[in-house]
Structure 1
Amino acid sequence: MKKLILNACAFSLLTVVSCKKETKIDPSPATIKDSVTIKADSASSSASSSTRSIITNNIGKYPHDIKLFENKDFTDRVKRITGAQYDEIFNNFNVESQIVSENGIYKVTGCKQHDCPGYSTSIFYDSKNDNLNVAIDKNGKITDFTEKEKIKITDVLKSM
């Protein structure tokens, strides 16, 4: 077991992180979408397990109640895919929604106090593929950040 962990650690040190940025323009003139994909093959199983459990075991709870942003594994993953945007996300995650789920996809949202339409963040977690996505909406301009691949979100989950 120790050898497997050491091999996984060594592999993760050698893994190269690549970024791909593409811009998508929605047909509606008010919405512009940016998309950033971070490919990281080195998420350790313990980090994945910690992220998975803090999200999947707390449906119906609010992020501040479970100290979601104090979970190092979760925040490290969000920081890795959002980069310089992380501090703005964290500072504006004031008005929160409960964690909701549909078909193994989990969603948590937060927005800027007194200005939810001006700045809101949705974080999606696909438990089957251990994949995080973050969507930031700044006055109708949506920027998507994906860890592995874009998670398919149903209309029901979007509306929750």
Structure 2
Amino acid sequence: MNYRAKYVSAAILTSLIFFSCKKEIIKSVPKTDSTSIKTEALKADSTVLNPTDSLYNLVDKSVIGTQFLTKSSLAPRLKKLLGTDYDQMVKTWNTETPFEKQDNILHAWGCKQHDCNSFSYDLYIDVKSNKINIYKFAESKLTIFKEDDFNIEIKDAFLKDLDIKKQNAEIKN
């Protein structure tokens, strides 16, 4: 091969290598809004590594808004604890109070919209012991669900609230 043909071949080969290694250029950016980005980020971050830290972040937040009953890391435990009553609780948890904290206890309350006397639930979480108790008020009957038969000590304002609910439902202590 002559000298000129070698250089032309080398130039063609170099060009082919250069263009084959070229990075792909994104020609269009997907259209999205900040809400969907936040939603996707929350889905990705939904795994709870340290339940104690994340549970305290629930204070003043809505059970429905946080999807605590259905999408939290504790949802499988709630389902196991309540058994067949779980679906009913999720369905009738329409009117609610946000999570409150007293010492190491978190509390939230929810009931059937426009019919709190028929179905209401008090959810207690002992963050220190990592145990759940649920008090179900249904048609003047109280049923207490205790995770691992652990009795969360309810006191002060939470106890006063619970006693008022028992009186209203005409349930004896």
Class of the TM-score when normalised by the shorter of the 2 chains: 0.5 to 0.7
Describe the SS at the equivalent of 1:78.
helix
Segments of 5+ residues of structure 2 without an aligned counterpart are 1-46, 163-173
CA distance in 2 between counterparts of 1:84 and 1:53 reads 30
Partner residue, 2:133? 133
Partner residue, 1:124? 124
CA distance in 2 between counterparts of 1:72 and 1:106 reads 15
CA distance in 2 between counterparts of 1:47 and 1:117 reads 34
CA distance in 2 between counterparts of 1:134 and 1:47 reads 21
Change (3 A) 1:54 1:85: farther
Change (3 A) 1:100 1:87: same
Does residue 74 of structure 2 align to residue 63 of structure 1? no
Contact 1:95 1:113 survives alignment (8 Å): yes
Describe the SS at the equivalent of 1:66.
coil
TM-score scaled to structure 2, two decimals? 0.60
How far off its partner does 1:128 sit?
A: 0.7
How far off its partner does 1:96 sit?
A: 1.0
How far off its partner does 1:73 sit?
A: 2.2
Partner residue, 2:82? 82
Q: Map residues 1-160 of structure 1 onto 2, 5 A cutoff.
A: 49-50=50-51, 52-148=52-148, 149-158=150-159, 159=161
Q: For the aligned residues, what is the CA RMSD? A: 2.0
For residues 6-25 of structure 1, give each alpha carbon's deviation from its aligned partner in whole angstroms, at most 9, with x where no partner exists.
xxxxxxxxxxxxxxxxxxxx
* Structure of larger gyration radius: 2
Change (3 A) 1:72 1:156: closer
Change (3 A) 1:53 1:94: farther
Segments of 5+ residues of structure 1 without an aligned counterpart are 1-45
Change (3 A) 1:63 1:89: same
Describe the SS at the equivalent of 2:65.
helix
> Which structure shows the bigger proportion of residues in strand conformation?
1
How far off its partner does 1:48 sit?
A: 7.8
For residues 22-75 of structure 1, give each alpha carbon's deviation from its aligned partner in whole angstroms, at most 9, with x where no partner exists.
xxxxxxxxxxxxxxxxxxxxxxxx76834x444321211111222212324211
CA distance in 1 between counterparts of 2:158 and 2:98 reads 12
